[in-house]
Amino acid sequence: MSGSLVCVGTGMTLGAHICPIASSYITQADVVFSLMSTGITERWVEEMHEDVRSLQPYYQEGKNRNITYNEMVNAILAEVRIGKKVTAVFYGHPGVFACVSHRAIDKAKKENFTAHMEAGISAEDCLYADLSIDPGKTGCINYEASQFMFYQRNIDPAAHLVLWQVGLAGDKSLGKFSTGKAYRQILVDLLLKTYPADHKVILYQAKVLPIDTMRAEYIALADLIDAELFMHTTLVIPPSEKMRPNQAILDKLAELDKQELKSSYRPKLTLVL
C-alpha cells in the first residue's frame, strides 16, 4: 500500500474552526504530525488520535529555521515512504504563512506519492472578522514582516497593510524567536517613509482558547518600538490615504462605454435572399 499525505488546518480557535474533513483526515490517518500554536491545542489534537507526533522538538532558538522546517518535512516524508497514510495538522490554515506543508507536499509529489492540502480558517480570516475589515473595500496587502524589510516591496497607503510575525522583525539569521527595539526602530523608520508617526496601527492576536481575549490594541506607529510583541502578534496598518482615481484608465473606459452604447443603437439588419 502506497503512503499518502494530507495537510490540514484546525483553524485558530480550539474546537470552533476545525472543519469536518480535517477532523476526518486526522481520525482516519495511520499517523498524525502536529504543529500547533499552544500547548493546550497541541493536547487537543493529541486526544484525537493514538499516534500524534509533535513537530515542536525540531525548533531550537539560534538554529536557522529553514533547517528546522526541512527536518520537519523529512520526518513527515519518512512515514509516507513506509506506506503510511499521514495527516499533518497545523494551526490555522496549513498553507498560509506556513511553509512546511507546501514543502512536504511538493516533495511527496516529486516522489510520486499522493499528497494534497485542505483549506483551513487562517489567522488572516480571523483578523478580518475581529477587526471588521473587508479586504475588498480598499484592498489588503500581506507580507511577512522580515521579508518586508529585506526586500524592496511596494505598499499602497490607500490599502490595509498587514505584517505577520512582527515580533521577530528583521532577523536575518532566521534563528531568533524575537527581536528587540533596535530592529523595530528600523522597521518603523521604513514605515515612516509612507505613514505619519501618529498614524494609528493595530496589534492583533486571534483568540486560540475560548477563555482567551482577542487582542486589538491601537497604538501610534511611532510607539511600535516600545510595544509588547509576541511570536503570534500581527501588525495591521489601516489606510492613511484615500484611493486616488486613475483618470487615464477611467477616460479609456468611458470611451469604450460610449462606443458600446453607440453600437447598441445601430439597427440590426438581416439579409433576406
Partner 1 sequence: MSKVIQVLEQMSRDANGQNDDAINNLLAAAQLDTEITTAIINKDVITLERQLDVRPDIVCIIAPAEDDGDENEENDTEENTNNWIIGF
Binding site for partner 1 (CB under 8 A): 13-16, 35-40, 42-44, 47-48, 54, 56, 59, 63-67, 69-70, 90-91, 97-100, 103, 144-147, 150, 164-165, 168, 171-172, 174, 177, 209-213, 231-232
The minimum distance between CB 221 and partner 1, in angstroms, equals: 21
Residue among 60 and 246 whose Cβ is closer to partner 1: 60
Q: Kindly name the residue from 65, 103, 184, 204 that is annotated as catalytic.
A: 65
- Give every CB contact of residue 24 below 8 A, 6+ residues apart in sequence: none
Q: Kindly name the residue from 25, 58, 69, 183 that is annotated as catalytic.
A: 69
The minimum distance between CB 15 and partner 1, in angstroms, equals: 4
The minimum distance between CB 231 and partner 1, in angstroms, equals: 5
**Burial class of 240 by CB neighbour count within 10 A (0 to 12, 13 to 18, 19+):** middle
| CB atoms closer than 10 angstroms to residue 180 | 11
Q: Kindly name the residue from 25, 43, 58, 91 that is annotated as catalytic.
A: 91
Residue 247, phi then psi, degrees to nearest 5: -65, -35
Residue among 99 and 227 whose Cβ is closer to partner 1: 99
The minimum distance between CB 220 and partner 1, in angstroms, equals: 26
**Burial class of 99 by CB neighbour count within 10 A (0 to 12, 13 to 18, 19+):** middle
Which residues on adjacent β-strands are paired with residue 116?
6
Residue among 9 and 239 whose Cβ is closer to partner 1: 9
Residue among 63 and 81 whose Cβ is closer to partner 1: 63
Which residues in 45-196 belong to E strands, given as ranges? 52-54, 85-90, 114-117, 140-144, 160-164
65 catalytic? Reply is: yes
Q: Of 93, 87, 256, 254, whose CA–CA distance to 164 is shortest?
A: 93
Residue among 3 and 92 whose Cβ is closer to partner 1: 92
**Burial class of 50 by CB neighbour count within 10 A (0 to 12, 13 to 18, 19+):** exposed
The minimum distance between CB 263 and partner 1, in angstroms, equals: 51
What residues are labeled active site?
A: 65, 69, 91
